[in-house]
Amino acid sequence: MKGSVIALDQIKGREAAAHLVDGRLEDLFIAPGEGVLAPETLCRGKLGRPVKGLGGAFVELPGGARGFLRQVKGLRPGAALLVQVSGLAEPGKAVPLSTRLLFKSRYAIITPEAPGLNISRQISDPVREQELKALATDTMQDADPALGLILRSACELADDEIVRADIMHMRKLAETVLGDETGPPEILLDAPAPHLAAWRDWPIADTLDEAAGSFRRYGVIETIDALMQSKVMLQGGASMVLEPTRALIAVDVNTGADTSPAAALKANIAAIRELPRQLRLRGLGGQIVIDLAPVSKKDRQILEQSLRAAFRTDGRDTVLAGWTPLGNFELTRKRDRMPLLQLLA
């Protein structure tokens, strides 16, 4: 099936959204469930004392949860402060937090304590860029000077009044939350639910299916079932296996039955191109070690170029660390989603 589809549905009683392009699942949002402080949740917390050797302090959060904040210079222990969940914690560990708050919508992002106006580099039309700059300047002229604004790429084709209304809505939301800094630990702004996140972060699709059963109609259920398995089949009979452990994500690339001289290089490139999608859909992040099929050292540059190209378009914070002495490739990727296996177990 050609074209793009956004399917809004539920899976195992959880709200979910799927983005498909030409019949292939490209992204998936599933609600994490009750009691989980998902990334982007904005809370009022209570700061504890700095912990020597850890470079930060623990923060008391709503519901008895505990977070960890690294930027504590100049902050007073015991004080209430506004923090935003910046990632998912491993079981038994504190929730990672940040004091750099973001109020994000489809068209606008308000950035407290980061003043200035920024426009997405994906907006390439200089005329439209100047129009948006004038609109944003006018809309923010009486705002607190400490509030910054980022206009997202969706603004390029949007109606000016829709963009203006979105800026004003997010600005008022930010002003309301920022004015509620004192008091006991409390959730002030929940992370967006999957259907809202789909509207906010995904491009407009050719088809929007909001009716119950949309996941089954577009084959999303079958794809999710495949994602619950560790093995991923690749072109030419090659495969890769993704195995999450407590310490890291291990990725093993296999050439299959192909015994030609170029088999290893082809299998590695196919795996690298597919890896960002598999990590995204499976909700995997943290330290990732790739055991590539054996290749000569002169081919490593080709694989590094393929890795950079593959993760450049992924939209996640990824650091390519490089080769290990044993010939594996290491990278780190922001842990910003709950693993699919954990969500649907």
176's enclosing H/E stretch is helix 160-178
Give the total residue count for the chain. Answer: 345
User: What does the pLDDT look like over 183-233, one tens digit per residue?
Assistant: 999 999 999 999 999 999 999 999 999 999 999 999 999 999 999 999 999
- CA distances, 72 to each of 50, 61, 69 (Å): 7, 16, 7
Residues above pLDDT 70, as percent of the chain = 100
The pLDDT assigned to 112 comes to 97
The pLDDT assigned to 202 comes to 96
The pLDDT assigned to 73 comes to 84
The pLDDT assigned to 52 comes to 84
Between the two ends of the chain, the Cα-to-Cα distance in Å is 30
Whether the pLDDT of residue 91 is over 80: the answer is no
Q: Could you give the CA distance from residue 8 to residue 345 in angstroms, rounded to a whole number?
A: 21
Do the beta carbons of residue 343 and residue 283 sit within 8 Å? yes
88-111 in b/e form (b: 16+ CB < 10 A) is bbeeeebbbbebebbbbbbbbbbb
Using DSSP, state whether 222 is helix, strand or coil.
helix
- CA distances, 127 to each of 109, 131, 193 (Å): 21, 6, 35
The segment(s) of the chain belonging to CATH 3.40.630 are 230-343
User: What does the pLDDT look like over 56-69, one tens digit per residue?
Assistant: 999 999 999 999 99
Please, what's the largest Cα pairwise distance for the chain?
68
Whether the pLDDT of residue 317 is over 90: the answer is no
Confidence of residue 302 (pLDDT cuts 50, 70, 90): very high
CATH architecture of the domain formed by 42-98: Beta Barrel (2.40)
Whether the pLDDT of residue 173 is over 90: the answer is yes
The pLDDT assigned to 149 comes to 98
Do the beta carbons of residue 59 and residue 96 sit within 8 Å? no
CATH architecture of the domain formed by 103-192: 2-Layer Sandwich (3.30)
- Region 312-319 average pLDDT: 87
State both tokens at 65: 């949860």
Which range has highest mean pLDDT (73-82, 145-154, 293-302)? 145-154
The pLDDT assigned to 120 comes to 96
Whether the pLDDT of residue 115 is over 80: the answer is yes
What is the residue-averaged pLDDT of the chain?
94
The segment(s) of the chain belonging to CATH 2.40.50.140 are 42-98
- Region 159-167 average pLDDT: 98
Question: Quick count: other Cβ atoms within 10 Å of Cβ 17?
Answer: 27
- CA distances, 48 to each of 232, 235, 277 (Å): 45, 52, 39
Whether the pLDDT of residue 7 is over 80: the answer is yes
The pLDDT assigned to 71 comes to 81
CATH topology of domain 230-343: Aminopeptidase (3.40.630)
State pTM to two decimals. Answer: 0.92
The pLDDT assigned to 258 comes to 83
Whether the pLDDT of residue 1 is over 80: the answer is no
Residue 260 region by backbone torsions, left for phi larger than 0, else alpha for psi between -120 and 50, else beta: beta
The segment(s) of the chain belonging to CATH 3.30.230.10 are 103-192
Q: Could you give the CA distance from residue 313 to residue 306 in angstroms, rounded to a whole number?
A: 12
